[in-house]
């Protein structure tokens, strides 16, 4: 038996070979990951250059080059700019941080903040492109997926929004209501589908949804008033639909009288004239004002989010502040009607 045969059969030699193979594989894997990370960094840097309309801030760039403080300090300042509505300065700072930082994690985080700044500033197309780019590198980023859904929604790209919601279902099962909301929006805006088929699908989805009822009522008020009244009679939440009922010019009075909550709205308007008191304070105040006062009152509407308590002068289905769905509630407000004159016949 020669020398090399002895070495080959030695268990120690086998262990050394295995360790060497493992080491080579580890080095190859590390090199591969480093290369991928470098490619990602370059890709994000090149992508960020597409948004440099605001330019970068040379002073901040110099500070980032020389300062011992991390980029997170400047990110914090940029976030304050965003909170104060100074989106131009915030975007400049984010772009400068993107240009100077080499850390992939910081780049992704800053790019996410840049997308949010563009979103809040109203540059939806830019925000969309940034969110899509982030998801190429981190496809399970729930926050960015949700922001992309909202961006598509504002852009009116409801089918794309629904596709993103389908991706979210694999990560978070609590998006079922968002899915139904998007399906309703798609159907309402689908002008090619026959009206009867569209109505059937809208009603089927709405039966199992907790947040789409008002959207559906507004739709049927425009396209099928008979179906609208069928749905409103069956509703137990008339308070939240007073703004819809208030603006209907020719309600079916005979049928309305059978439902006190609906009838109260038209008692307050003076369309139904009897001595029955309204259950809601604002409606009763208007009823009495129209009956006994020379002043003409009207009903104003505000919309309050039950999640963040934000109040808005116009109707929204998704809160502009906290982005929650299904939390907007109607707030009634008595106001003087300056466009009508109450003529006393006596």
Band of pLDDT at residue 311, cut at 50, 70 and 90: very high
Average pLDDT score over residue span 168-195: 89
Report the range out of 38-42, 169-173, 265-269 with the highest average pLDDT: 265-269
**What's residue 346's pLDDT?**
40
**What is 1-138's CATH topology?**
1.25.40
Backbone Cα Rg of the chain:
31
> Is residue 120 classed exposed, middle or buried when 0-12, 13-18 and 19+ CB atoms within 10 A define those classes?
middle
- What the block records as the tokens of 269 is 């308007």
| Percentage of residues of the chain with pLDDT beyond 90 | 47
Tens of pLDDT, residue by residue over 314-331, are 998 999 889 899 899 999
Tokens 């979210």 locate to 168
Q: What pTM was computed for the model?
A: 0.76
How sure is the predictor about 290, in pLDDT bands with cuts at 50, 70 and 90?
A: confident
Q: How would you classify the pairing of strands 311-312 and 297-305?
A: antiparallel
Phi, psi at residue 340, to the nearest 5°? -130, 155
Closest CA to 164 of 178, 149, 180: 149
331 neighbors 311 (Cβ within 8 angstroms): yes
Distances (CA, A) of 324 to 132, 166, 202: 22, 18, 22
Per domain, the residue ranges of the chain are: 1-138, 239-346
The Cα 227–Cα 238 span in angstroms is: 16
Q: Residue 78: phi, psi to the nearest 5?
A: -65, -40
Q: Say which residues have a Cβ less than 8 Å from residue 190's Cβ, sequence separation at least 6.
A: 198
Q: What is the pLDDT of residues 107-120, one digit of tens each?
A: 888 899 999 999 99
pLDDT computed for residue 22 by the predictor: 77
In this predicted structure, the answer to whether residue 33 has a pLDDT above a threshold of 50 is: yes
- Tell me the C-alpha to C-alpha distance, in Å, between residue 140 and each of 117, 134, 226, 235, 239: 21, 10, 45, 39, 40
Task: List all residues 6 or more positions away from 31 whose beta carbon is below 8 Å from its beta carbon.
Answer: none
**Residue 131's pLDDT band (boundaries 50, 70, 90)?**
very high
Mean predicted confidence (pLDDT) in 164-180? 86
């Amino acid at each position: 038996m020669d020398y090399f045969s002895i070495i080959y059969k030695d268990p120690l030699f086998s262990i050394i070979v295995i360790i060497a193979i493992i080491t080579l594989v580890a080095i190859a894997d590390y090199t591969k990951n480093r290369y991928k990370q470098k490619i990602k960094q370059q890709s994000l840097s090149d992508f960020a250059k597409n948004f440099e309309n605001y330019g970068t801030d040379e002073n901040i760039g110099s500070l980032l080059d020389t300062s011992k403080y991390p980029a997170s300090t400047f990110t914090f300042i940029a976030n304050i700019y965003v909170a104060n509505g100074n989106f131009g300065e915030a975007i400049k700072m984010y772009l400068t941080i993107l240009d100077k930082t080499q850390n992939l994690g910081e780049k992704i985080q800053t790019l996410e903040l840049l997308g949010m700044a563009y979103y809040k500033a109203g540059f939806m197309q830019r925000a969309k492109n940034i969110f899509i780019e982030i998801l190429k590198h981190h496809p399970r980023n729930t926050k960015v997926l949700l922001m992309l859904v909202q961006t598509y929604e504002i852009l009116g790209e409801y089918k794309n929004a629904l596709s993103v919601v389908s991706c979210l279902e694999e990560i978070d099962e609590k998006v079922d209501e968002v899915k139904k909301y998007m399906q309703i929006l798609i159907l309402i805006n689908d002008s090619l589908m026959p009206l009867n088929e569209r109505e059937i699908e809208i009603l089927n989805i709405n039966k199992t949804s907790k947040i789409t009822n008002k959207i559906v009522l507004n739709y049927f008020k425009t396209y099928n008033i008979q179906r609208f009244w069928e749905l409103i009679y069956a509703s137990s939440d008339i308070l939240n639909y007073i703004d819809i009922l208030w603006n209907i010019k020719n309600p079916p009075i005979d049928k309305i009288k059978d439902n006190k909550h609906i009838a109260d709205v038209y008692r307050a308007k003076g369309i139904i004239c009897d001595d029955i008191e309204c259950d809601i304070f604002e409606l009763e105040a208007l009823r009495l004002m129209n009956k006994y006062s020379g002043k003409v009152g009207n009903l104003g509407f505000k919309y309050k989010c039950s999640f963040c308590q934000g109040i808005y002068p116009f109707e929204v289905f998704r809160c502009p502040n906290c982005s929650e769905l299904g939390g907007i509630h109607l707030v009634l407000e008595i106001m003087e009607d300056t466009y009508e004159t109450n003529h006393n016949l006596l």
